[in-house]
Structure 1
Amino acid sequence: MTMATQTIHAEPIEELSAGLRSGSPFLRPIEMIAAALLVTIVGLLLMGVTSRYVFSLPVVWVDEAASMCFLWLALLGAVIAIDRNEHLRLTLFLHMMPKTLQGFFSALGPLLVAVFLLGMLPPAVEYAVDESYLTSAALNIPMSWRAAALPAGIGLMVVLAVRDMVRSATVKQSIAALGVTAAVLAALWLVSPFLPSLGHYNILIFLVAFVAFFLVIGVPIAFCFGLGAFAFLTFTTSVPSMVMIGRMDEGMSSLILLSVPIFVLLGCILDATGMGRAIVEFLASLLGHVRAGMSYVLLGSLFLVSGISGSKVSDMATVAPALFPEMKRRGHKPKEMIALLATGAAMADTVPPSIVLIVLGSVAGVSIAGLFTSGFAIAMVLLAVLAILARWKARGEVMEGIRRAPMRAVGKALVVAAPALVLPFLIRSAVGGGLATATEVSTIAVLYAMIIGMVLYGGIRPGKIYDMLVETAALSGAILIILGTASAMAWALTQTGFAFKMAAIVTDLPGGWITYMLVTIAVFMVLGCVLEGLPAIVLMAPIMFPIAKNLGIHDIHYSMVVVTAMNVGLMAPPIGVGFYIACKIGNVSPDEAMGAIWPYIGALFIGLLVIAMVPALSTAYL
C-alpha cells in the first residue's frame, strides 16, 4: 500500500496513515500535473473497461495512452516523494551514530543521490532521443513522448537532492561530503582497469558492501540499488549506462503495475469515506461480547479491510483507533495490542488486492489471478494461528459489564457495512475467476468506492480528493522508482552468471525442495527486515523462482512462502520497518512493544512452516 518522519527508526514506503503533507510551493505545478495524470489514467482505464465489457468494442489505443501517462506519473511521483521526504530509507543505524557523523551523513546521503541521478541524466536523454525514432503502434506518435519522462524526472530530482543537501547540513559538512565523494570516485576510476579481474568479488564490493553502506547511512533504498548497480556497471564492465536506463524503464512501467497507483488511491478513498470503520464496527457488534472478541475483531478487520485497500499502513490506521480504546478498557496491554496489530497486518498482506502480490506476479511471471485466489486461503491459515494465540493471551481479560449486542444493532451495522464488505470479495472473484485483470478491477473498485462513499458514507470534499491524488502520486512514485532501480540491480546481478552458480549450489543441497524452502524462508525473512517487501522481491525473484521451478515447486505455493516469510521479517524487531509503523500508529514506544511481539512472530512462523510444508494449502483452490 504502505510510505515518514525521523521519529521512528525507518521511513516506511506506505505512509497513508501519517496524514497528507504539503511539499514545496515551487513544486505545486508538478503536483497538479501528477494529479491530472492519475485522473487521466483512471479515466482511460474506465473507458477501456466500459468499451470492452459493455459495448464489446475494445479501444486499442487505451493501454498505450495509459502506459505513456503511467511512466510520467511514476517519475513525477518520485520527484514529489523526494520533496516530501517520503522515499523508503532505513534510519535505525543512523540514529545510533554520534551527532557529528549524523550531520556528515545527512549531507553525504543527498549528495550520493544527486551523483547517481547526474550519472543517469545523460543516458536518459540519449534513451529519449533514440525512442524518437520509434512510433507507437496505436497512437502513431513518437515514443519519445513517453521516454522524455525519464530525463525530465531525473533532472528535477537532481535539483531537489542538491537542495536537501544544502538544507540538511552545514557548509563545512557539505564540503566534507563533496571531498569524500570526489576522492572515492577518483580512486574507483584509477583502479577500474584492475577490477574486472576480481570476477565475482565485484558483486560483494559493489552490490553487497556498497549497497549495505548506503543503507546504513540512510540513503533511500531506491537510490542504494541504483548507486550499487551504476557503480558496478561503470567501473567493472563495458556495458553502456543507457542499458541501465532501459532496465529501469522496464522495471517500473509494466502494464501490470498500472494497478499499483489505482489500489493506493483506493486505500485513500477507503480511509477518507469511513468504509473501513464501518467494517470494524460491524465485526465489533458481532464478536465483541466473547472472550478475546476484540482481538478477533482486530484480526478480522485487518483481513477484510486489507481486501479493499491493498496497504498495510492504511489497514492499521483504520483499525487501531477504532478498537484500541475498548481493548484497553478490557485490560489489554498496549504492547500486546501493538504486537497483534503488527502481525495481523503481516497476515493480511496476502489478502487481495495486495500490492506485493501484484508486483510479484509482474516480476516473477506468476498468474495474479492464481495469487489472489491462493492468498485468501493462506491468510486464513495465518489468521487461525494468530487467533489461537490471542485466545490464550486473553484468558485474563476483564469481561465485566460486557453484553452481547442486540440483533437489531448487529443488523443495522451490517446494513451500513455491507457495501464495503462486498468489495474485497468482488475484487477476488473478478480477478481469480478470470473475468477481468487486476488493473481493470482496481479501476472499477475505485469508481465503486467513490460512488458508494458519496451516496452512503458522506462523500469526500473536493480539496481532500486533490490531496489524495497527490499523495497517491508520491507514494506510487516511491514504490515504482524502487522497482526500477531494483530491476536494474537484479539484471546486473544475473548478467554476472552468479544466479547460475547459486542455482547449482542450492540444487545440490541435501533434502531437495524442503531444504530449499527453508533457505527461502531464511533469505526472505532477513531481506524483509532490511529492505521491505517490494525491493526484496524484485531483487531475488529472478534468481530464486527458476530454482524453485527446477525443483518441482509450484510457483503459487512458492510465492505464498516468499510473501509470508518476507512479512514475518518486516514485522520483526529490531530492524523490521512494519513493527515501527505499528508502534507509531498505536502511539506505543518500540522499546515497550518489542518484548511482546515475539510470541506473535512465533505464531506467524509456525503458520509459515505449515504453509511451506503443505503445498495443497496454496494450490488446492486454483
Structure 2
Amino acid sequence: MSASLAQDVTPPPATALGALARRVDTAIGATVEAVAGSLVLVEIVVLLAGVIARYVFHKPLVWSDELASLLFLWLSMLGAVVALRRGEHMRMTGVVNRVGPQARAMLETLALAVPLAFLALVMWPAFEYASEELPVVSPAMEVSNAWRASAIPTGLALMAIVALLRLFEQHALRRIAIALAATAAVTLLFWLAGPLLAPLGKFNLVLFFVIVVAACVFGGVPIAFSFGLATFGYLALTTRTPMLVMVGRLDEGMSHLILLAVPLFIFLGALIEMTGMARAMIQFLASLLGHVRGGLSYVLIGAMYLVSGISGSKIADMAAIAPVLFPEMKQRGAKPGDLVALLSATGAQTETIPPSIVLITIGSVTGVSIAALFTGGLLPAVVVGAFLCAVVWWRYRGEDLSRVRRYGKGEIGRFLLVALPAIALPFVIRAAVVEGVATATEVSTIGIAYSVLVGVFIHRQFDLRRLKPMLVETASLTGAIIFIVGCATAMAWGLTQSGFSQDLAMLMKAMPGGAIGFMAVSIVAFVVLGSVLEGIPAIVLFGPLLFPIAKAVGIHEVHYAMVVIFAMGIGLFAPPFGVGYYGACAISKIHPDEGLPHIGGYMAALFAGLVVVAAIPWISTGFLK
C-alpha cells in the first residue's frame, strides 16, 4: 500500500560510488532475504510441530513458544531491513506525489536521510539494551535473553547500512549532501534547544507528537521512523528517561507472541492464491451470480468476504481477486474507475472478518479476547456489505445481459465441488480455535498445512519455484508491520508517562451525550487516524488509551472494536489521503483519478453501514457466548 522509497524523479548518473553501493546492497539484500525467508519457514514448522505434539501425541513441546518468540524478533527486524531495501515501509505519499519534480526528488532523498538519523541516534541504546538482557535466562530453553534482544541492534545496524547504500545508489550526490546536512542541522537545533524545552511542559507533546510527526509523515518519511524519531526526541530532550527504556518498549511492542499470526496469515494468503483455491471460489461465485445484473460486482463483494476470512492481508485479498474478475467485468462494460472504487470499498468492508491482522493487533494491545473479536467481526461485515450491494444494484440496474452465459445447475454443482475445500478453510480455522486444537497464533499453521495438501492432492497446483519469493515477501510485509507496532508502542508509552492518557480519558468522559457522544467522536477521530496513520499504528497508539474509556461509559469492547475498525477502514481506503485506495489502484493497474468520480457512492454506503453497526450493538455482540 505504500509507494516505493526507491522511486526517484531524476535518477543520478552512473558513478563508481553508485555502482559499488549497488553491488554491496545486492549482496546484503540477498543474504538478509534468504535468512528472513528461512525464518518464516522455520516459524511455521516450529508452531505446527507444537500443535501436533500437544493435540495428537499429548506431549507438549515446552520450548516451542520460547523458540518461536526468539525467532520472531529476528524475523521482524530482518524483515524491516528487507522492507526498507525494497521501499515497502508504510508511508504517506499524497503530498510527495503532488509537488514538482525537483521538490519530489528532494523529499524522496529526505525519506531515507531522516530514518538514517533515527537509526544513528537509537543504535547505542539498542546495544546497551541487548547487553542488559545478557544475565536474563529463558525458563524452558535456559539460554540468555541476549540471543533474542540482539536482533534489535543487529536489525537497526543493517537498516542504517541499507539506507546509506540506497542513498548513494539512487540519489544524486548533491541532493544527498543537502538532505544529510539539513537532517543533521535540525537534529542539532533540537539538541541545543533542549534546556528551553523542559519548561514548556505538555506543549512538548504538541511539538513532538503532532508537529514533528506530521512534518515527517506528510513529507513522505515512513510512519514507523516518524514515530520513533518523535518519541526519541521527546524522551531525550524533555525527560530524564534512559534511552534503553525506549528500546525496551520497542521490544515489548514487537514481542507479543500473538503477533506471530501476522506473517503466518500473510503467507497463508499468498498460498491460497498460488494453489488455485482463491480462483476456485471466485469461479463458483461467478457461475452462481454472473447472469444477474451487476452480478460480478456482487461476486467481488462476496469473494472479498471469503478471501479476507482466510488471508488476513488486505493486499493479498485484492491481489487474489482483481486479476481474476476485472477482465471479465470490463468485457461486460464496467468502467475501470467503478471497479477500483468498489474494490477499495470492499477493502474497508472486510476489515473485521477474521483472522484480520487488525483484529489480532487490537487483541494483543488491548487485552480483548481475540476469539470474541473473531466471532464478533463476521456479521458487521455482512451488514456493511449489504449497503454496498444496494449501491451496486442501483448502478447496474440497466446492465445489458444479452451476451452473458447462464450456467446450468450441473455446471454450478461442479464448480461448487471444486471450490468446497477453499470455502471450508475459514470454518476449519475457526473450529480449530473454538475446539482448543490450536491458539489464534498456531491456527494459521493448520491453514497452511491444509492449503498445501489441497494444492498438491486436489488442485494439483503447487509451484515450488514461487515459495522463496512468497516467503521473502511475507518477511518484508511482516517487518514493515511489526516495526510500526514497536515504534507506536514506544510512542504510546511516552504519551502515557506524560499524563496525556489521563487527560484524554477525562476529556472523552466529559463529552456530552455519554456513550453516544463518545462513539461519535471516536468515529470521526479514527476516520482521520485511518487516513493518516493507517489502521495498525493508529490502533497500537490509541487502542490502550480509548478502549478502557469505552468500557467505562458502557460500550462493549467488541462492539467498540468493530466500529473503530470500520471507521479506520473508511479513512484508509478513502481518497485523497487513504493509502489503501492507492494500493487498490496499484493492484488493479488503474489510475487513481479514474476511481474518484465513482467512489463517493460506495463511501456513503460504508458510512451508512458504520452508523447502523454503531447504533445496534447486537450486530457485533449477538453471537458472543
Which band: TM-score by shorter chain? over 0.9
Q: Deviations over 1:181-216 (max 9, x none)?
A: 222222212221121111111011111110111112
Distance 2:547 2:170 in 1: 42
1:99 deviates by 2.7
1:544 deviates by 1.0
With 507-516 and 424-433 compared, the bigger mean Cα shift is at: 424-433
Amino acid at match of 1:273: T
Which structure 2 residues correspond to residues 415-434 of structure 1 after superposition, within 5 A? Answer: 415-432=417-434
Quick check: 1:185 aligned with 2:187?
Answer: yes
Please say if residues 8 and 580 of structure 1, whose CA atoms lie closer than 8 Å, have aligned partners that are also in contact.
no
1:467 deviates by 1.4
Which structure 2 residues correspond to residues 493-504 of structure 1 after superposition, within 5 A? Answer: 493-504=495-506
Structure 2 equivalent of residue 270 of structure 1: 272
Distance 1:8 1:333 in 2: 29
Please say if residues 7 and 108 of structure 2, whose CA atoms lie closer than 8 Å, have aligned partners that are also in contact.
no
Query: Which residue of 358, 367, 373 maps to 1:356?
Result: 358
Distance 1:226 1:299 in 2: 37
Query: Which residue of 156, 162, 168 maps to 2:164?
Result: 162
Query: Which residue of 36, 39, 42 maps to 2:41?
Result: 39
Structure 1, unaligned stretches of length 5 or more?
10-22
With 453-462 and 479-488 compared, the bigger mean Cα shift is at: 453-462
Amino acid at match of 2:457: V
Amino acid at match of 1:568: I
Please say if residues 104 and 169 of structure 1, whose CA atoms lie closer than 8 Å, have aligned partners that are also in contact.
no
Distance 2:28 2:513 in 1: 60
Please say if residues 91 and 222 of structure 2, whose CA atoms lie closer than 8 Å, have aligned partners that are also in contact.
yes
Distance 2:199 2:397 in 1: 64
Structure 1 equivalent of residue 587 of structure 2: 585
1:8 deviates by 10
Distance 1:583 1:100 in 2: 25
1:617 deviates by 0.7
Q: Deviations over 1:564-595 (max 9, x none)?
A: 10001111111111111112222222112112
Note closer, same or farther for the CA distance 1:166–1:113 as it changes in structure 2 (3 Å cut): same
Amino acid at match of 2:429: I
Quick check: 1:281 aligned with 2:283?
Answer: yes
Please say if residues 94 and 102 of structure 1, whose CA atoms lie closer than 8 Å, have aligned partners that are also in contact.
yes
Note closer, same or farther for the CA distance 1:42–1:608 as it changes in structure 2 (3 Å cut): same
Please say if residues 41 and 66 of structure 1, whose CA atoms lie closer than 8 Å, have aligned partners that are also in contact.
yes
Please say if residues 5 and 112 of structure 2, whose CA atoms lie closer than 8 Å, have aligned partners that are also in contact.
no
Structure 2 equivalent of residue 121 of structure 1: 123
Structure 2 equivalent of residue 203 of structure 1: 205
Quick check: 1:106 aligned with 2:108?
Answer: yes
Note closer, same or farther for the CA distance 1:415–1:72 as it changes in structure 2 (3 Å cut): same
Amino acid at match of 1:262: L
1:70 deviates by 0.5
Please say if residues 232 and 246 of structure 2, whose CA atoms lie closer than 8 Å, have aligned partners that are also in contact.
yes
Structure 2 equivalent of residue 329 of structure 1: 331
Which structure 2 residues correspond to residues 36-435 of structure 1 after superposition, within 5 A? Answer: 36-432=38-434, 435=437
Distance 1:182 1:456 in 2: 59
SS of residue paired to 1:597: helix
Distance 2:366 2:474 in 1: 25
SS of residue paired to 1:64: helix
Note closer, same or farther for the CA distance 1:493–1:80 as it changes in structure 2 (3 Å cut): same
Distance 2:564 2:511 in 1: 19
1:434 deviates by 5.1
Please say if residues 5 and 88 of structure 2, whose CA atoms lie closer than 8 Å, have aligned partners that are also in contact.
no
Distance 1:4 1:425 in 2: 35
Structure 1 equivalent of residue 20 of structure 2: none
Structure 2, unaligned stretches of length 5 or more?
9-24
1:329 deviates by 2.9
Q: Deviations over 1:231-255 (max 9, x none)?
A: 1111111111101111111101111
Query: Which residue of 428, 448, 462 maps to 1:460?
Result: 462
Please say if residues 266 and 309 of structure 1, whose CA atoms lie closer than 8 Å, have aligned partners that are also in contact.
yes
1:552 deviates by 1.2
Q: Deviations over 1:487-520 (max 9, x none)?
A: 1111111111111111111111110010111111
With 467-476 and 456-465 compared, the bigger mean Cα shift is at: 456-465
Distance 1:415 1:56 in 2: 35
Please say if residues 369 and 434 of structure 1, whose CA atoms lie closer than 8 Å, have aligned partners that are also in contact.
no
1:350 deviates by 1.1
Distance 1:267 1:3 in 2: 19
With 574-583 and 93-102 compared, the bigger mean Cα shift is at: 93-102
Structure 2 equivalent of residue 18 of structure 1: none
Please say if residues 6 and 170 of structure 2, whose CA atoms lie closer than 8 Å, have aligned partners that are also in contact.
no
Amino acid at match of 2:515: W
Q: Deviations over 1:355-407 (max 9, x none)?
A: 11111110111111001101111111111111111111111111113343111
Structure 2 equivalent of residue 563 of structure 1: 565
Distance 2:403 2:7 in 1: 38
Distance 1:573 1:8 in 2: 21
Q: Deviations over 1:418-470 (max 9, x none)?
A: 11110012223333555531111111101111111111223333221111111
With 74-83 and 159-168 compared, the bigger mean Cα shift is at: 159-168
> What is the aligned length?
608
With 256-265 and 28-37 compared, the bigger mean Cα shift is at: 28-37
SS of residue paired to 2:60: coil
1:166 deviates by 2.1
Please say if residues 274 and 463 of structure 2, whose CA atoms lie closer than 8 Å, have aligned partners that are also in contact.
no
Distance 1:465 1:183 in 2: 45
Distance 2:542 2:518 in 1: 14
Distance 2:608 2:294 in 1: 21
Query: Sequence identity, in percent?
Result: 48
Amino acid at match of 2:547: F
Which structure 2 residues correspond to residues 430-445 of structure 1 after superposition, within 5 A? Answer: 430-432=432-434, 435-445=437-447
Distance 1:593 1:451 in 2: 39
Amino acid at match of 2:469: D
Amino acid at match of 2:182: V
1:178 deviates by 2.5
Distance 2:29 2:307 in 1: 33
Please say if residues 349 and 384 of structure 2, whose CA atoms lie closer than 8 Å, have aligned partners that are also in contact.
yes
Amino acid at match of 2:529: L
Distance 2:398 2:334 in 1: 9
Please say if residues 202 and 232 of structure 1, whose CA atoms lie closer than 8 Å, have aligned partners that are also in contact.
yes
Distance 1:192 1:574 in 2: 37
With 61-70 and 37-46 compared, the bigger mean Cα shift is at: 37-46
Please say if residues 24 and 83 of structure 1, whose CA atoms lie closer than 8 Å, have aligned partners that are also in contact.
no
Distance 2:152 2:179 in 1: 27
Distance 1:420 1:33 in 2: 31
Structure 1 equivalent of residue 11 of structure 2: none
Q: Deviations over 1:117-169 (max 9, x none)?
A: 11111111111111110111000111111111111111100101111222333
SS of residue paired to 1:390: helix
Amino acid at match of 1:570: L
Distance 1:412 1:455 in 2: 18
Distance 1:416 1:235 in 2: 62
SS of residue paired to 2:350: helix
Amino acid at match of 2:327: P
Distance 2:7 2:274 in 1: 25
